[in-house]
Amino acid sequence: MRRELIGIATACVGLWLGVLPLSAHHSFAAEFDQSKPVTLEGAVTKVEWFNPHVYIYIDVKDANGKAVNWALEGGPPNSLYRQGWRKDSVKIGDRITVTAYLAKDASSTASIRLVTTPDGRKVFAGTADDGGPKQ
């Protein structure tokens, strides 16, 4: 765990140096609404470490206490790997907080910017320079 977090911390440093994960697969604005930021907190139910995008799924409780499963789209695994992420950096059951931007189609889908790991570290895991916000 400690080694993973060092890796994530390294990714953070990379971000500050301007080395960001990227994607060319689609336009940010064609799918997500940068006027609709959202912060979601919940337990990880699944991680898909595949191209063209990593997906992290979390259960988030709605106003009625009912769990809603959100699909959170990150950058491509190739870019995230080069930044220090590994496919088990976030595990099923981990409670994470994510700042993201909502999909325009009102589905429970959002584009990840920052992931706050259980120990409080904030790591960029999104698709940088995709036209969406940096954070």
Partner 1 sequence: MKSTAILATFVLFAAAEAFAGPPDLSGVWQAPYTPDLTKPLSHDLPYTPYGAERFKNVVHADDPSSYCLPVGPARIIQAPLPFQIVQTPNAVVLLMEYMHTFREIYTDGRGHPDDLEPFRWYGDSVGKWDGDTLVVDTVGIGDRTWLDTAGHQHSDQLHLVERFRKVDENTITWTVTFEDPKMYKEPFTVTLPLKRQKTMLMMYSCEENEKDRVHLDNTKQSAKPGELQ
Residues near partner 1 (CB under 8 A):
22-31, 48, 50-53, 55, 71, 73, 76, 78-79, 81-82, 103-105, 107, 109, 129-131
Q: How far is the CB of 3 from partner 1 (least distance, A)?
A: 21
Q: Which is nearer to partner 1, 23 or 117 (CB)?
A: 23
Cα dihedral 20, 21, 24, 26 sign: negative
Q: How far is the CB of 51 from partner 1 (least distance, A)?
A: 5
CA distances from 32 to 1, 21, 23, 124 (A): 32, 17, 14, 17
Q: Write down the H helix ranges in the chain.
A: 2-16, 77-82
Q: Which is nearer to partner 1, 46 or 61 (CB)?
A: 46
Of the candidates 27, 4, 3, 2, the residue with the CA atom closest to the CA atom of residue 89: 4
How far is it, in rounded angstroms, from Cα 135 to Cα 47? 21
Q: How far is the CB of 22 from partner 1 (least distance, A)?
A: 3
Q: How far is the CB of 81 from partner 1 (least distance, A)?
A: 7
How far is it, in rounded angstroms, from Cα 107 to Cα 115? 20
Q: Which is nearer to partner 1, 63 or 106 (CB)?
A: 106
Q: Which is nearer to partner 1, 30 or 63 (CB)?
A: 30
